[in-house]
């Protein structure tokens, strides 16, 4: 065959291959039978969003799944029957939804499946917990063993997100950088923009040559701050021990239910003690049980944790934090 004729046939073959691929691509789209009719490019967490699809084959039952950037699935998305070739869903994006691209997947039976992306703009500023202060006191007992009373001041810097299930790991570090002990506490909630005083203690069977505290914080979750408030405290005082002169005995004061509608069922307390220079010298904790109706008050006395391990001469001021349980 002459060279010119072979070139013509080769070009014709390429054109035929291209035509075949193009038809195949169209056929694939037709086989899907689904298309988004409404899919916003972005949506804000805490607000309602609506998406819709067009179904080219019949009126099947369609399902939608949504997974946010952190892998969390949207709950409550029920299957939607297609009507006149259309199906749609509306839902409120959780305030706590992770900012980033959410992956959407729609399935409509024999009509196939279609996927898309939705950029979620976070409305909550994630909680950032910082350690504002930390400190401790060591008390060696005449009968053997030692106790270390410690306190940590934590700050939630988010203006609109409460930190939930905050786990605080406290390591007691010796001068050689080795650990001599560890303990952990769980704080159910640190409200947005608030400070929490964590106080407790740890006992040792022998000496406790603690040089510093090493603290690790993990936030288990977050939620939008709804404006809940703490009960009022009054006449808070550091009281000396009746049995061990020279040591703190407890922290006492008045707990006031200043809510006009809610009953205060119980209160979890945590306190940190400071010296004259504002340094942390220890802390402790306690509870108050029993219903407290609106506009009433009761005396509280905190004796748990490490109050008795703090020298009275160093105990100048105290910060008390509360986690209340309310009932309508």
Assess whether 169 and 102 both reside in one domain.
no
Checking if the pLDDT of 9 tops 70, the result is no
Sorting pLDDT into bands at 50, 70 and 90, what band is 15?
very low
Sorting pLDDT into bands at 50, 70 and 90, what band is 249?
very high
pLDDT at res. 98: 85
Assess whether 59 and 156 both reside in one domain.
no
221 found inside a domain: yes
Residue for token pair 């400071």: 274
Average model confidence (pLDDT) for the chain? 89
pLDDT at res. 139: 97
Among 89, 121, 153, give the residue marking a domain's end: 121
- % of the chain residues with pLDDT over 70: 90
Assess whether 243 and 164 both reside in one domain.
yes
Among 104, 121, 138, give the residue marking a domain's end: 121
Q: What is the pLDDT averaged over residues 134-152?
A: 96
Assess whether 172 and 73 both reside in one domain.
no
Domain CATH code at residue 60: 2.60.40.1930
Q: What is the pLDDT averaged over residues 117-140?
A: 93
Backbone angles phi, psi at 207, to 5 degrees: -70, 155
274 found inside a domain: yes
307 or 99: whose pLDDT is higher? 307
Least confident range from 18-27, 169-178, 289-298: namely 18-27
pLDDT at res. 32: 58
Under DSSP, is residue 112 helix (H, G, I), strand (E, B) or coil?
coil
81 or 31: whose pLDDT is higher? 81
pLDDT at res. 227: 74
* Positive or negative torsion for Cα 33, 37, 43, 47: negative
Q: What is the pLDDT averaged over residues 277-281?
A: 98
110 found inside a domain: yes
pLDDT at res. 2: 47
Assess whether 160 and 292 both reside in one domain.
yes
6 found inside a domain: no
Assess whether 144 and 181 both reside in one domain.
yes
For 15, other C-beta atoms within 10 Å of its C-beta total: 10
Least confident range from 158-162, 205-209, 247-251: namely 158-162
Residues 6+ apart with CB under 8 A from 200: 149, 150, 183, 185, 270, 283, 284, 285, 305, 306
DSSP 158-200: -SSEEEEEEEEEEEEE-TTS-EEEEEEEEEEEE-TT-EEEEEE
279 found inside a domain: yes
Assess whether 170 and 230 both reside in one domain.
yes
Residue for token pair 């809940």: 228
Q: What is the pLDDT averaged over residues 188-217?
A: 97
Sorting pLDDT into bands at 50, 70 and 90, what band is 145?
very high
Sorting pLDDT into bands at 50, 70 and 90, what band is 228?
confident
Sorting pLDDT into bands at 50, 70 and 90, what band is 51?
very high
Among 75, 90, 121, give the residue marking a domain's end: 121
Assess whether 100 and 189 both reside in one domain.
no
Assess whether 102 and 223 both reside in one domain.
no
Encoded tokens for 320: 């008390």
The boundaries of the domain holding residue 240 are: 129-327
258 found inside a domain: yes
Assess whether 277 and 306 both reside in one domain.
yes
Q: How many residues does the structure list for the chain? A: 328
If one counts the domains in the chain, the total is 2
Assess whether 85 and 155 both reside in one domain.
no
pLDDT at res. 179: 98
Assess whether 104 and 155 both reside in one domain.
no
214 found inside a domain: yes
Sorting pLDDT into bands at 50, 70 and 90, what band is 207?
very high
Checking if the pLDDT of 11 tops 60, the result is no
Q: What is the pLDDT averaged over residues 256-260?
A: 94
Under DSSP, is residue 204 helix (H, G, I), strand (E, B) or coil?
strand
Least confident range from 23-32, 64-73, 243-252: namely 23-32
pLDDT at res. 208: 97
- Rounded to the nearest 10°, the torsion over CA 191, 153, 305, 145 is 150
pLDDT at res. 6: 42
10 found inside a domain: no
């Amino acid at each position: 065959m002459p060279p010119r004729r072979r070139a013509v046939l080769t070009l014709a073959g390429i054109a035929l291959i291209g035509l075949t691929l193009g038809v195949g691509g169209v056929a694939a789209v037709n086989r899907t039978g689904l298309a988004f009719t409404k899919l916003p490019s972005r949506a804000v967490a805490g607000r309602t969003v609506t998406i819709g699809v067009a179904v080219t084959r019949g009126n099947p039952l369609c399902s939608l799944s949504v997974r946010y950037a952190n892998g969390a699935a949207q709950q409550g998305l029920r299957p939607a029957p297609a009507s006149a070739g259309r199906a749609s869903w509306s839902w409120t994006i959780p305030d706590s939804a992770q900012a980033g691209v959410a992956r959407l997947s729609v399935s409509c039976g024999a009509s196939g499946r279609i996927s898309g992306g939705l950029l979620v703009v976070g409305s909550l500023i994630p909680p950032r917990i910082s350690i504002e202060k930390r400190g401790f006191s060591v008390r060696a007992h005449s009968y053997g063993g030692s106790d270390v009373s410690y306190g940590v001041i934590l700050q939630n810097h988010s203006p609109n997100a409460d930190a939930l299930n905050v786990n605080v790991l406290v390591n007691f570090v010796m001068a050689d950088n080795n650990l001599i002990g560890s303990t952990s506490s769980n704080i159910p909630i640190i409200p947005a923009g608030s400070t929490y005083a964590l106080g407790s203690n740890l006992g040792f069977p022998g000496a406790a040559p603690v040089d510093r505290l090493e603290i690790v914080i993990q936030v288990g979750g977050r939620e939008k701050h709804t404006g809940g408030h703490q009960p009022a405290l009054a006449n808070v005082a550091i009281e000396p021990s009746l049995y061990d002169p020279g040591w703190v005995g407890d922290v006492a004061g008045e707990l006031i239910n200043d809510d006009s509608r809610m009953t205060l069922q119980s209160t979890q307390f945590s306190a940190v003690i400071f010296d004259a220079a504002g340094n942390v010298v220890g802390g402790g904790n306690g509870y108050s049980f029993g219903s407290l109706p609106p506009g009433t008050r009761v005396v509280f006395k905190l004796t748990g944790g490490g109050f008795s391990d703090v020298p009275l001469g160093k105990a100048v001021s105290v910060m008390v934090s509360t986690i209340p349980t309310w009932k309508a």
